Amino acid sequence: SATAPSGPLVVLGAGPGGYSAAFRAADLDMEVILIERYPTLGGVCLNVGCIPSKALLHTAAVMEEAQHMAAHGITFGKPKVDLAKLREFKSGVIGKLTGGLAGMAKARKVRVVHGVAEFTGPNTIEVKTEKGAETIQFGQAIIAAGSQSVKLPFMPEDPRVVDSTGALELAAIPKRMLIVGGGIIGLEMGTVYSALGARLDVVEMLDGLMQGADRDLVKVWLKKNEHRFDNIMLKTKTVGAEAKKDGIHVTFEGEGAPKEPQVYDLVLQAVGRSPNGKKIGADKAGVAVTDRGFIEVDSQMRTNVPHIFAIGDIVGQPMLAHKAVHEGHVAAEAAFGEKSYFDARVIPSVAYTDPEVAWVGITEEQAKKEGVKVKKGMFPWAASGRAIANGRDEGFTKLLFDEQTGRIIGGGIVGTNAGDLISEVALAIEMGADSVDIGKTIHPHPTLGESVGLAAEAADGHCTDLP
């Protein structure tokens, strides 16, 4: 842009935010340098996050489904787990995607520099590469350095205490596993380990698992998953842990705390992620970083230094790949001089558990708290031909409409493939649709997607598929 100093655009970090920004900028014919400390592109999401976890969750879902088939008269033998092969499958999935990114960077003539980077001034960044330090002069920069898992200070250094990255390595299947933190990441990993044979305990400080989602959605997930857990400890904290020969001895405090320390073969810490803002020399560039390590930005993703942008996990919640990608596009376009800005009405959330739990926009609990009057449409999957035919009719689809405007402002779905189904609700919210728009859209029959149209009809009290 006219005000930006001349020189290339540097993108720090090659996760979903960083590579999306770099590719968009290159497509706009900007000169782009993408810096990444790890040998592969893709960041947390592709290497140790979204993608490997979904490869393993797919395996878990197939195993569950095979067991379900017994009720349909088809019985399979007990699954034999070859962990090495499973790890190979997971690595293959990652390799395909990260290799694809490397090819896409090359095709766009994005220069990729591998090494740890730190700003040394408002227009310079130093990268410690294998060949030594390289100082890069830049005209503009986009910070996309992401986040890392939070570690509890009292957890011992021991291979049996892992974060999500360690859990995804799938070194062994524990007999007893403790998940510290009842959020999406912990529960997804629990689903995988439980399918492979582990017994689970989960400990959560708040009064329910999967915070953020409406309790009616979570209840359906819980009913289907209770059998995986020996102990669900709510309003409870881990307060100590000791590595002994027979396992990790963990002590708890709170309403659900067992009196005695519990012994586990594997402890997964999934208590949140903290941004990498304090590790990139941001102060040398004059970029302000909050106490917690976040970087504040405006709607164009600009930091307090106008030629430096920031995107993704490092700018705040929700820490999700699809948010990072959209922010990356905005930052690249703004750096090019376009008047783009981030204006998403909603960002969907999905727990890829079994069943999946997905929600977008306002939740019912939030509406209640904020005094927003909503008209609700519910379609229980027990009335869905497809869900019944799939033998998985435990779910439901819920839509929330603003009572004043009639427009859809939120929705939640629990059931198989809920994560795929929620996109239609997100689109409807973005388009300002009302219940008639959704209800009169012809959905293919028999699909789970029909439940969205039927929930909209239910909101108006004329769903002929309901009693």
Q: Which residues bind ligand FAD (CB under 6 A)?
A: 13-18, 35-38, 43-45, 49-50, 53, 116-117, 144-147, 164, 185, 276, 279-280, 312-314, 319-322, 324, 352
The full DSSP string for 423-460 is HHHHHHHHTT-BHHHHHTSPPPTT-STHHHHHHHHHHT
Closer Cβ to ligand FAD, 280 or 332, answer by number:
280
Q: What separation in angstroms does the CA of 203 have from each of 156, 194, 219, 254, 272?
A: 18, 16, 17, 10, 14
Q: Residue 197: CB partners within 8 Å, gap ≥ 6?
A: 81, 173
DSSP-assigned letter for residue 146:
-
Active site residue 445: yes
- Which is catalytic among the residues 307, 322, 445, 462? 445
Number of other residues whose CB lies within 10 A of the CB of residue 402? 17
10 three-state secondary structure: strand
**CB-based contact 287:304 (threshold 8 Å):** yes
Q: What's the burial of 323, exposed, middle or buried (CB within 10 Å: 0-12/13-18/19+)? A: buried
- What is the dihedral sign for C-alpha 382, 384, 385, 390? negative
Round to whole Å and give the CA distance between 99 and 450: 37
Round to whole Å and give the CA distance between 178 and 203: 8
Closer Cβ to ligand FAD, 199 or 322, answer by number:
322
Q: How far is CA 85 from the centre of its chain?
A: 26
181 three-state secondary structure: coil
Number of other residues whose CB lies within 10 A of the CB of residue 446? 14
What is the closest distance, in whole angstroms, from the C-beta atom of residue 267 to ligand FAD in the complex?
16
What is the closest distance, in whole angstroms, from the C-beta atom of residue 431 to ligand FAD in the complex?
22
Closer Cβ to ligand FAD, 36 or 393, answer by number:
36
Q: Identify which of 290, 33, 268, 9 has the alpha carbon closest to the alpha carbon of residue 162.
A: 268
Round to whole Å and give the CA distance between 256 and 203: 8
Closer Cβ to ligand FAD, 10 or 250, answer by number:
10
DSSP-assigned letter for residue 256:
T
What is the closest distance, in whole angstroms, from the C-beta atom of residue 203 to ligand FAD in the complex?
18
What is the closest distance, in whole angstroms, from the C-beta atom of residue 26 to ligand FAD in the complex?
17
Closer Cβ to ligand FAD, 40 or 251, answer by number:
40
What is the closest distance, in whole angstroms, from the C-beta atom of residue 401 to ligand FAD in the complex?
26
The full DSSP string for 19-52 is HHHHHHHHHTT--EEEEESSSSSSHHHHHHSHHH
Q: What's the burial of 108, exposed, middle or buried (CB within 10 Å: 0-12/13-18/19+)? A: middle
What is the closest distance, in whole angstroms, from the C-beta atom of residue 456 to ligand FAD in the complex?
26
Closer Cβ to ligand FAD, 308 or 324, answer by number:
324
Closer Cβ to ligand FAD, 94 or 324, answer by number:
324
Closer Cβ to ligand FAD, 261 or 316, answer by number:
316
What is the closest distance, in whole angstroms, from the C-beta atom of residue 127 to ligand FAD in the complex?
7
Among all chains, which residue has been given the structure tokens 């739990």? 357
Closer Cβ to ligand FAD, 86 or 116, answer by number:
116
Among all chains, which residue has been given the structure tokens 């720090």? 12
What is the closest distance, in whole angstroms, from the C-beta atom of residue 446 to ligand FAD in the complex?
28
What is the closest distance, in whole angstroms, from the C-beta atom of residue 7 to ligand FAD in the complex?
19
Among all chains, which residue has been given the structure tokens 């007893």? 176
Cis, peptide link before residue 16, omega less than 30° from 0: no
Which residue numbers are catalytic?
A: 445
